[in-house]
Chain A
Amino acid sequence: MFLVAFPLAAGALLLAIKNGRLRNVVVVAAAVVVASASVATAVTFGNGEAVFFGLPFDLPASLTLGRLLLVAELAIGAFVIVVSIQNRRILAPLLVGGQIAISLYLEISGKLPEFDLSRLFWFDKLSMIMVLIIGIIGTLICVHSLGYMRDYHRSNPLIKGRRTVFFALLFIFLSAMFGLVTCNYLPAMLVFWEITTLCSFLLIGYTRTKETIGYAFDALNMNMLGGLGFSLAILLLVNGNQTLDLAELTAHAAPAVLMPALALLCLAGLTKSAQMPFSSWLLGAMYAPSPTSALLHSSTMVKAGVFLLLRLSPAIAGSNLGTLVAFTGMLTFLFVSLVAVTEQNTKKVLAYSTIGSLGLIVGCAGLGSPELIWVGMMIIIFHAIAKGLLFLVVGTIENRLYSKDMENFDTLLSRLPKVSALALTGIAGMFIAPFGIVVAKWAAIRAFLEIPGWQGAALLVIMAFGSSLTIFYWGKLLIKVLSMKCVDDAELAIEKRVSRFEWLAEGTLAAGVVAVAASLGVISDKVVGPQALATFAGTSRAFLNIEPAMLVSMIVAVLFLPVLAVWASRQRNWCDEADFYAAGRTTSPDRTMGAALGQTRSVTLRNYYLEGVVNGALVFRAGTVICGAILVALIAVGMVGR
């Protein structure tokens, strides 16, 4: 409860603070408190079985929970409508209007059943993982923003600074996320859900240019559609006299009567986690400042979608609905990985990779078995920390090089050695075998082998191609980061201007990547494994046996590149002798070569983007159409209750 209330208060306080220095102090202090509180919560409640608890105080008689939530929803709705009218948008007010109509109907008709307030919150190991991610990674990103936003406004002087609002939004968002991942009452969860949508909308539109406002409304519309699905699901559950208790709802494989509501909840989960056909909003969201991308669009908010699907997993596993959800996720993974190899904007590559990783989790949640839930949670952990780090690092690079283009990251190791080492840690965490996500992919393949029928074969083929594609785009990024040339002191001085807030946040996250790699076995045995078994009551299975050889190779692989990079960037003596082969031209190590008439030309080396073989835009459209068709089937299957 404290976790919800405190960041909210901090957010309100930050709204009032205009002074930059004071803001730094408040943000850091609030971050420390939130992080410690989330660790304390995890330690207190996360050790044993799942616990349920209510509010620490009694609500006054006139103010029921239903009314409280209604007021919150009306406030959100009113805000959306006002903003939409200001920007002459019609879709968002319609969507939010539908939600408000449903909520008003439920409240006025008095149909909303009494809810046992002592079961308002649900805290188990999945919530614990999410709370730790939000509490630690989330706050680190807030601290990082202090440095990033200062440089952001320096390098973009035309953009009007609204940092007061920015930091307030970040903390309000953290508060809503804490609520979302611990809430057990669906209408309350919906309110938190909508607050995160709203924060995302406002942060994407931060610069208030025509372009970003367009993207912000894309995100708003798609997420509001998911929110409307969520509301409709609640309406269906109430009309069918079913429970609104998430834990009860998902305790067993669901009977046919629950399927329509579950299908709509899956729709909500798919929109939030930007699965195809809803992937485009996350790409537009990349125009937001980089810490926003790190916090909302990779580490936490998009995880709310897969969090909900993992929660629903026991109810939908084995049904046609579950299979369709799984294929939506896995095909999304395949299609976005294919698009990513043709993409040159680094932030967008990271976005595609995020959608792909979320797709894998969706696939696992839809199929639903203890092993796959294990995989899903593992990916959540590794992705949150490594991708969060990568977005922050790309933000730092962007403020030094004034570019997000992968091609401009050439010889990064020589120009920004320390930043490169951090980037390499993040990339190693994302995909260098044999670590986190690779372990998860391997475990998923093992699980796919057990699935009978064409589904198993199809999933296996999708996985084989999808993960090979990830090697290609990460490999290209690595080539750019790891290439070297000889630089002079003036170029090296650029790195000195990175703020200490950024070093602190990125350094801590990089250390976290290594720590998580080293404690993989413990995480599996103590947290993820028990949770996966508890999700499917009555099963008991041994999870993948992480052999010592694997563990050692993991740690070596994660540390190898960053350590090497730091060492190599300190070497200076090679600059005197090194030349390179350029068909016999004279060359020198600052990447220049002799040209005709005694001139010197610099050498430009560029990556392959598979032009002529893979058409990124076409693949994206095809994926959207195919997954859109699956989505229609998914809703239809849900409605007839099969």
Chain B
Amino acid sequence: MNVNPVVYGVLFVFLAPVFGGLLAGMDRIISARMQSRVGPPLLQPFYDLGKLLQKNARQVNPIAEPLLLGHVGFMAATGAMLLGGTDLVFTAFVLALAALFLVLAAGSVNSPYSHAGAERELIVLLASEPFFILMLAAICKVSGASTFGGVLASPVWVAWQLPGMLLAFSFVATIKLRKSPFDISTSHHAHQELVSGLTSDMSGRLLAYVEMAHWYESAILAAFVVLFFNWAWPLGLGVFAVAYLLEILVDNSTSRAKWQLVLRSSWAVTLLLSGGNVLPLFLLK
């Protein structure tokens, strides 16, 4: 059963969109039920993606599309490197780079809505990145391993050692997934003050790239949860599913927060829960 981890990396590139797409489909059904609607079929996100790819994209400038391709490409690469056996801490930096490309694409166009969305997405990045660096470093510390496979093979039960980190993860993941109340940079609903924020000027296949990258991102977050439950990875996916359900509930029952609150609260959570979790690890060892 000695499979080269690179195989997993390649598998991620192909399977993660399926996972992310199905997740988005379920999200829409469950959200609809919460709002007493029936909701679209499970595969609707895939139909939508196909339609977006067929449509003509309105050219806003020559650089937005390549930047968005960079966004999808680096997001896929992050996941591939994560599962493919690259150092975990290193992937935190690549993840930030991938996210940055979306910011740059949205910032390059002239729409004020898009530009404000880009700035706010940068704040989302600033709010979430310290946590991801700390989280992956702490996972390496407790498991004594530095790669995805290594952590899964480690005899240490990561979640027992990092309960604070896991709690903080559920908070920061809400920010990363751009779910309400932390959907400050974009929204699916045009009635918000930012219209649709950083996707305001994106249409056709450009919008499809954003969606694809989001699916990869969801899969990467699921992989992070698996790292916590390294002794039984299906349990990790199960926990991710439950957590996602809660995210949907929160998404549908809260209104959007201001960016100041997002930044302050996520830094406080990272500092208190993650920092508080990391400190004893260093003191005891």
- Does A401 touch B at the CB level, under 8 Å? no
Task: Check if A571 sits within 8 Å of B62, measured CB to CB.
Answer: yes
CB-CB under 8 A from A591, the residues of chain B are 110
Instruction: Give 7 A-B contacts (CB < 8 Å), ordered by A residue.
Output: A433-B96, A465-B267, A471-B125, A472-B122, A547-B86, A571-B62, A583-B195
Partner of A482, one of B84, B87, B107, B267: B107
- Does A2 touch B at the CB level, under 8 Å? no
- Does B281 touch A at the CB level, under 8 Å? yes
User: Which chain B residues in 262-285 approach chain A with CB under 8 Å?
Assistant: 263-264, 267, 270-271, 275, 278-279, 281-283, 285
Task: State A425–B216 Cα separation when bound (angstroms).
Answer: 28
Given contacts A484-B61, A581-B114, contact A468 B125 (CB under 8 A): yes
- Does B213 touch A at the CB level, under 8 Å? no
- Does B221 touch A at the CB level, under 8 Å? no
In the complex, which residue of chain A has the Cβ closest to the Cβ of B276?
A: A457
Contact size range, B: 35 or more
CB-CB under 8 A from A612, the residues of chain B are 260
- Does B227 touch A at the CB level, under 8 Å? no
Task: State A610–B122 Cα separation when bound (angstroms).
Answer: 11
User: Which chain A residues in 253-273 approach chain B with CB under 8 Å?
Assistant: none
Given contacts A471-B100, A472-B126, A581-B114, contact A434 B200 (CB under 8 A): no
Task: Check if B87 sits within 8 Å of A442, measured CB to CB.
Answer: yes
Task: Check if B133 sits within 8 Å of A610, measured CB to CB.
Answer: no
User: Which chain A residues in 387-427 approach chain B with CB under 8 Å?
Assistant: 413
Task: State A475–B125 Cα separation when bound (angstroms).
Answer: 10
Partner of A484, one of B62, B130, B131: B62
Given contacts A460-B278, A479-B107, contact A445 B94 (CB under 8 A): no
Task: State A259–B21 Cα separation when bound (angstroms).
Answer: 62
- Does A530 touch B at the CB level, under 8 Å? no
Residue count of chain A within 8 Å CB distance of chain B: 65
Interface residues of A: mostly helix, strand, loop or mixed? helix
Task: Check if B66 sits within 8 Å of A564, measured CB to CB.
Answer: yes
- Does A636 touch B at the CB level, under 8 Å? no
Beyond the given A454-B279, A581-B201, please list 16 additional residue pairs across the A-B interface where CB-CB is below 8 A.
A448-B137, A461-B271, A467-B129, A467-B133, A468-B133, A472-B122, A475-B100, A475-B125, A479-B103, A479-B122, A550-B86, A553-B81, A560-B70, A577-B59, A580-B201, A608-B119
Residues of chain A whose beta carbon lies under 8 Å from any beta carbon of chain B = 341, 413, 432-434, 438, 441-442, 445-446, 448-449, 451-457, 460-461, 463-465, 467-469, 471-472, 475-476, 478-479, 482-485, 547, 549-550, 553, 557, 560, 564-565, 567-568, 571, 574, 577-578, 580-583, 587, 589, 591, 603, 605, 607-608, 610, 612-613
Task: Check if A582 sits within 8 Å of B112, measured CB to CB.
Answer: yes
Task: Check if B110 sits within 8 Å of A587, measured CB to CB.
Answer: yes
Which A-B residue pairs are the 3 nearest by beta carbons?
A: A479-B107, A468-B129, A433-B93
In the complex, which residue of chain B has the Cβ closest to the Cβ of A448?
A: B137
In the complex, which residue of chain A has the Cβ closest to the Cβ of B127?
A: A468
Interface flags for B172-213 (1: CB within 8 Å of A; 0: not) read 000000000000000000000001000011000000000000
In the complex, which residue of chain A has the Cβ closest to the Cβ of B278?
A: A457
Task: State A206–B126 Cα separation when bound (angstroms).
Answer: 39
In the complex, which residue of chain A has the Cβ closest to the Cβ of B106?
A: A479
CB-CB under 8 A from A567, the residues of chain B are 62, 66
CB-CB under 8 A from A432, the residues of chain B are 97
- Does B226 touch A at the CB level, under 8 Å? no
User: Which chain B residues in 64-110 approach chain A with CB under 8 Å?
Assistant: 66-67, 70, 77, 81, 84, 86-87, 89-90, 93-94, 96-97, 100, 103-104, 107-110
CB-CB under 8 A from B87, the residues of chain A are 442, 446
Given contacts A453-B282, A465-B130, contact A476 B60 (CB under 8 A): no
Task: Check if B114 sits within 8 Å of A580, measured CB to CB.
Answer: yes
Q: Count chain A CB atoms within 10 A of each CB in B58, B107, B118, B200 and give the residue with the most.
A: B107
